[in-house]
Structure 1
Amino acid sequence: MKRWQNNIPEYLISPLTTGFRKISIGVVKDRCRIYPFFCAFGRHIDMVKNIHGIDEKLIDLLRGKNNQPDSTLFEISVALMYARNGWNVSFIPETSSEKSPDLLVEKDGEQFFVECKRQAKVTEYSETERKEWNKRWDILVQAMIAFKIPTFMDVAFKVEVANTPLTILESAFTEIVTSEMISSGYSLENDQISASVDFINMDAINKHFEDFQVSWNSPQMVALFAGGYERNGSYTQVHFPKGVNAVGPDDDDHILNLFCTGVYSAYCAKWECLSDTSIDKKAKDVRKLLGKAVDQAPEIGNTIVHIGYETLHGPLVEFERHKKIANSINTFDYKNKKVKAVFCHALQPSVGPDDSEWAETTMRFGRDGVKPETILQNDLLLDESATKIANETHWYQDLNLMVTGA
């Protein structure tokens, strides 16, 4: 496992233009997801150039697959990882007539076919759950605005979000406000949710804006409203800005260069679902991807499978997913295919108020007596300098941080 950080200073920007425009924080996170890969390609540009067939892959990355680069980025990163470990690497050209592996790697008379599979960033269930949250948030925020009290609500669902009334958050918020429980240190709790509400410290926020402008809908802006920011947290917020400054032309290519000059009022909520069913459904297994990879493995020759996925839902989901993956890979019927090792690359890009972070864990599974570490001594996709490497998963570290705060 490794982590690396990229410090992002907070800039004081001179006003250029003002206006109102909405942008999702996901745009910033997507930049964090892609940036480390291109940094790795640049650091090892000579190795990349020596990978046979790389030109076609780069064309595919820039122009192909409906502008969905994750799979191709993963394939190139796996190819570079083998090159960094001293293997001669070639991409196997795709054909329409038959399925084939992605790579052929060779070293010291040894040869492996390599098949790469990349899981979708967000599961269908996660997207459905987020939409269910938004339905309840839309009703909640109207109640927040009606009371005219800038507030932050922290919500934990004990059952699936879809199985709660649409008005459950509004009802909980109203009861907390009318019972004078805001910032009381107490939570309102029933068999479906646990919720607490705090005042948003507008004096502290206005003091901050006297000295700084804040990137629009950024983690730093959320941290101002929520009194802190958890990288694995899910936040939703609405605020009424005093002004928005744009750096660069007002077009879709400069959507990251928007800065808020101050806010009149703000309303924010953090939510999570602790339902066993929700955790199980978000902890998506890799069995289907493994099956597709094995189908593309040749009948003759040894094959290695690499599967990549992102860990976006926090430690509870990832502990459950880890168990599923280990069971699937160890019990899978590989039939007559000579799959000698499976590597699972768990990737976690995250953006905080002051920096961006990349965490990566590789899980190795050898077969037929093969030790994966003899194939790849360095089996992390990215090798940024000044990384911290530990013999534990990054979700274990995240959980430890949540429990101990250190």
Structure 2
Amino acid sequence: MEIDRPPLSANVPVWDDGCWTPLPALQGNVSADSCVIGLGGSGLTLINELLRRDERVIGLDASDVGAGAAGRNGGFLLAGTYDFYHDAIVRHGHARARAIYGATIAEMARLAEEAPGTVRFVGSKRIAATDAELADCRMQYDALRADGWPCEWHDGADGQGLFLPTDGAFDPLTRCRLLATTARNDGATLFAHSPVIEIRGTSVVTPGGTVHAGRVFVAVDGRLEQLLPELVGRVRTARLQMLATAPTAELSVPCPMYYREGFEYWQQLPDGRIAIGGFRDKGGDGEWTSDATPSAVVQEQLERFLRDTLRVSAPITHRWAASAGYTETGLPVIEQVRPNVWALGGYSGTGNVIGALAARAVAAAALGGDTSQVTLLSGHIAA
């Protein structure tokens, strides 16, 4: 198959409209009550939570606002954990799975409130790729309905499976930029292009200067284990890849779609573009990498699916990748890894909602001593 491909080195997500003014880099020594490393969804949510507690906050990013997975993902808002609901019950216990599911539904409403105009509550579909997956969908349906969560059986031209009306779609990069603007307006100082060289006690050293803080929060997803070697073996970074087309009317996709147990996922943006990601498993061990550059192997799989399965012939305008952290449990890391140094990340592909919850949880634990949400979301008893 001839691949219709712009230069892969571009690596620009469909969400980037090119209108953002980059933040300045840190120069010199500065001080704050709290330093947050990572200006993605969880880091910016955390910064705003700290500001509400009257903290003086400095935020840093190695690149810029939303430059990591937070601004380069598929734009899905999904309830629950990495595991489908019935699997989460088995893995984490019924009460805990139900509590997390409810917390994520409530958090989606809060995300929409904090970033007006970015969220569309259109639901999502899980479409079965095989008979075995169809049976698994029925188990998920039964578990959700038994606990009173909205779920509908779906049988349509696009396949059979589930429709989950509480889910939604959003523009992840615009959300990050809105959160950053709010944080700066409320008094936070944010720096971009300031990669962390070392965390020395609660001082954060970058090429241009050092932040001296009372506490440090490392709020990154992919590459978390590189910043905090204590987490090697518990968090593993993977590359997630996507592509997007020009606006098209060839296909109408009313809501985010999950297929093949979530390995493939796509949605149609309001302007008609199709954005699709997946096939990480087809890339082999090479996709367990911190290199966030699109690879030909996975991009070819994505394009073949777009052309042969979705029957979309619109030209491809964007190809991009991002780094995301995965854990063995599917639950995030939220803990104090050194005195007054907290880590949050490893969202296993669920960072849009779980990441925001993790940020609120770590703020409550670090500043208020309330560890209940940390324990719920991560299973870790906060130090």
- TM norm structure 1: 0.24
Bigger fraction of residues in helix: 1
- Please identify the structure whose Cα radius of gyration is greater: 1
- TM norm structure 2: 0.25
